[in-house]
Amino acid sequence: MWEWLIAAALAAGVQAEPPAARSEVVALVGDSITFEHQDVIERAFLDCNAPRVVIDARPGRVTTTSSTPLGEIESGLAAIEAIRSTSDPSTWLIELGVNDVNVGRVPDEAAARSVIDSVLALVDEDDTVYWVDLYTVGDRADGAELFNRVLRSYDRIGVLDWADKAPALVYDGLHPTAEGAAVMAGEYCRVISR
């Protein structure tokens, strides 16, 4: 059903690509953006013959702490550590940061850099890292833009461009429609199937 969208997304480009690597294990760590359409993403991974993919996504997840306005939710860092305790991914797909911005934990460039550095500190130096850039609307849009600028300054991170595509593919200013999830999944497939 979404094959044409995935194929179209596979033809799109990415920014600042680190060296391509096909690994036997790929990890995807995300928040509600991934969680809501995990089934679409999993089908896309099957369709594109992806290696084994471990997905850990939670609504409301922030990157560095489990304490959130929604209560205690496993942090992105805890998810990375949990994945590393059972697998050794050499490719990481990171879809985190929008909740950090939305709850005010990324007020400036130093805070954005701290969030990103905390993730990079947990993955092996030779691992390939792709990070989905952030999109949100309203009073936190500037924070997302700031985070994305900092994210793009890292040579080690391949940035998957969601922010430019998202306006037509979200239903509430943040979360992707099923079509949006298929586009995002196509981007994942494109970079891990090299």
What are the boundaries of each domain within the chain?
3-12+23-192
Rounded Cα gap, residues 105 and 191, in angstroms? 29
- Confidence band, pLDDT 50/70/90 cuts, at residue 4: very low
Task: Measure the CA–CA gap between 64 and 68, rounded to whole angstroms.
Answer: 10
CB atoms within 10 A of CB 126: 8
For residues 181 and 2, the model is more confident at 181
Query: What number of other Cβ atoms are within 10 A of residue 105's Cβ?
Result: 19
Dihedral angle of Cα 178, 99, 83, 128, to the nearest 10 degrees: 80
Residue-wise pLDDT tens digits, 28-38? 999 999 999 99
Q: Is the pLDDT score of 120 beyond 70?
A: yes
| 104 conformational bin, left if phi > 0, alpha if psi -120 to 50, beta if neither | left
* Contact (CB, 8 A) for 57 and 184: no
Average pLDDT over residues 81-109: 95
Terminus-to-terminus CA distance in the chain, angstroms? 23
Q: Does the domain made of 3-12+23-192 have the CATH classification 3.40.50.1110? A: yes
Backbone dihedral region of 163: left (phi > 0), alpha (psi from -120 to 50 degrees) or beta?
alpha
Strands 128-132 and 91-95: parallel
Model confidence at 184: pLDDT above 90: yes
Percent of the chain with pLDDT strictly greater than 70: 88
The β-bridge relationship of strands 52-57 and 71-72 is unpaired
Nearest Cα residue to 32 out of 167, 149, 172 = 172
